[in-house]
Structure 1
Amino acid sequence: MWEWCRRWLAKRFNVYSAKTDPILLYFLSIIDVRLRWFQSRAGNFDEAKKYILEEVIKRRDRLENSSPGIYTDSEAWTEAYRLERLMALLEPIDNLLYEIRLRLDEASAERVSAEPRLRTALSMAEANAFDNSRSPPELKPDGESMLRALLLEILEKTHWTTQRKFFARPIQISATRKIVWAGVFSFALFVLPYAWIYVDIYISRADQKIPTDFLVGLPFYTALTAGLFGAYFSRLLYIQKNAGNMSVGELKTARELTSIFLRGVVGMCGALVVFFFLRSGMVDGKLFPTFPRLSVMEGKVLLSDAVPGVGNAFGQDVGSVRQILPSPDLALLAIWCFLSGFSERLVPSILSTTEQTLGDAAKGGKK
């Protein structure tokens, strides 16, 4: 009963305990088994290695049996990784090369950015650490220190990558949560006029017409909010896809409200540029909106058409449903403005193409 109360209080007040961390306990059990293997070979160790072995055993036991609150989760894992690096100093000479290759494969699985450089360093170390004039090649006197230093560097890079992921995960979650809320807010702004129309008609007379004054600024409003929504949607996908490659500083910047706000402003500015570019009439075709037709269309859908077989089977008129939708041109404008906020290259590409076209036209006029 007391043990249950202690664990409940530790969990309630967010007090970390190594005994309640199953992943850490398993990692410490791996270290324990390797230490026992080193103890079986301790007869070949010098005094320095024996001292390191005793220290690792004591520190491992101290970490595993530590009281709640002595370590934080990050401190506990930092200590566990320190023990693993100390064990690299005890690795037998005949097992060094195999251990290095094994750790390199682990670094590759953990997507350590320095893994290609470390493989190159291994090739150079093999060439310099062994005397290839003999058969089989023999390890040079200074070859052990060279290989052991490389093993330590591989472990350091792998541990750094793992610790960075552990530290960056809460920051990524915080940034994602804020961007999601910003995206939800921008989406609500985008659909607000249409929801307002539907609600107004629902609570008023069924034959009430759409207010004309309300539609005056609808295209411009749609363009800005579509760009805002596209910007936040793009940012959310980018964070989800590239969070593992982003530095901690970049993740911290991504979760700042000023950074999120500026990303939305950039999306709205891009949508504004596309709005006036399309309005200028410089491009034409079925893929581009015709501005005089930007509006909201109203129509009726017969229930017999919407649900085949209803009404006609009994020879009755089941009526119709009033339908209010954006015009095709307004939908095209919304798509273009959404893409301008979503794609960071669309607006610069449009401006670059326009600049080149105007430059060619100016050169042709001078001739």
Structure 2
Amino acid sequence: METRIENILTVTKKLILLSATTLLSIALIFGATLFWGNKLMISWICIMCGILGGFVSIQQRIKKISSKELQLLSKSWFQILLIPIYGGIFSLILYVIFLSNMLSGQFFPSFNFPSIPESGVDTVYLQNFLINTYPQSGQDLAKLIFWCFLAGFSERFVPQVISNISNETEQPK
């Protein structure tokens, strides 16, 4: 039992360190964009919120996981990082789903998109799209942050969303 408590403490210390690093990264991204007067890349915020959600998820489950898994987490930085990295990836996928309007409604964020040039979509437009697509309001930004955190926190959420979208497209009309 003593070893389990030691492993919980070790994993908790690693989670605190990695969560603090993630929060610092978010602050640096915000600070850098303010300092240099650049636009904030929303995709980075999505990824960081997903990563943070993954760290919180591990911390919430830590007392319930098996001793073997706990021992593995206490000995390996990679294993601790794996879930949050997936959380970051899932949050980015969810962001793309929101941008594509495949998931919309009052509980989901809405976005302002740059106008498509008369010449059509090209590389310059795609760069413009990545840099200048923003949530329509502060509320929409808050919704996006919440959903991206949830994507990292609940590792089954985004795969379920993808599965639901896939099932809707496969159903005969």
TM over 0.5: yes
Determine if contact 2:73/2:80 at 8 Å carries over to the other structure: yes
Match of 1:260 among 65, 80, 105: 80
Q: Tell me which amino acid in the other structure corresponds to 1:253.
A: L
Superposition TM-score, scaled by structure 2 size: 0.78
1:242 lines up with 2:78 in the alignment: no
CA RMSD of aligned residues (A): 2.2
Q: Equivalents in 1 of 2:48, 2:4: separation in Å?
A: 31
Q: Give deviations 1:297-331, integer Å, cap 9, x for gaps.
A: xxxxxxxxxxxxxxxxxxxxxxxxxxxxx832222
Deviation at 1:196, TM superposition (A): 4.1
TM-score (norm 1): 0.39
Matched, 1:335 2:146: yes
Q: Matches of 1:254 and 1:330 in 2, distance apart? A: 33
Q: Find the counterpart in structure 1 of residue 23 from structure 2.
A: 187
Does the Cα contact within 8 Å between 1:219 and 1:330 map onto a contact in 2? no
Aligned length: 152
* Equivalent-residue separation in structure 1 for 2:134 and 2:14 (angstroms): 33
1:164-220 CA-to-partner distances (Å, cap 9, x unmatched) read: x1222212211111111111111222233334456x4xxxxxxxxx82xx21x5211
Counterpart position of 2:95: 275
2:134 to 294, 297, 305: 294
The unaligned stretches of length 5 or more in structure 2 are: 113-132
Unmatched 5+ residue regions in structure 1? 1-164, 201-209, 297-325
Q: Distance in 2 between matches of 1:192 and 1:295?
A: 21
One-letter amino acid of the structure 1 residue matched with residue 69 of structure 2: E
- Show the counterpart of 1:351: 162
Q: Is the 8 A contact 1:294 1:327 kept in 2?
A: no
The one-letter amino acid paired with 2:134 is: L
Cα offsets for 1:284-309 (capped at 9, x unmatched): 2222112217269xxxxxxxxxxxxx
Q: AA paired with 1:257?
A: W
Q: Residue 284 in 1 paired to residue 104 in 2?
A: yes
Which structure: larger Rg? 1
**Correspondence list, 1:165-204, <5 A:** 165-196=1-32, 200=35
| CA-CA distance at 1:283 after TM superposition | 2.5
8 Å CA contact retained: 1:190, 1:229: no
| Cα distance, 1:192–1:328 mapped onto 2, change above 3 Å | farther
Deviation track 1:317-352 (CA, whole Å, cap 9, x = no partner) reads xxxxxxxxx832222211111110011221121012
Deviations 1:252-272 (A, max 9, x none): 211211101212211111111
Name the counterpart of 2:70.
Answer: 251
What CA distance in whole angstroms lies between the structure 2 residues aligned with 1:333 and 1:277?
11
Percent identity between the aligned chains? 24
8 A Cα contact 1:294 1:329, kept in partner: no
- Structure 1 CA distance, aligned partners of 2:161 and 2:24? 28
**In structure 2, distance between residues paired with 1:334 and 1:184:** 17
Q: Answer whether contact 2:110 2:135 (CA < 8 A) is retained.
A: no
Q: Distance in 1 between matches of 2:23 and 2:87?
A: 13
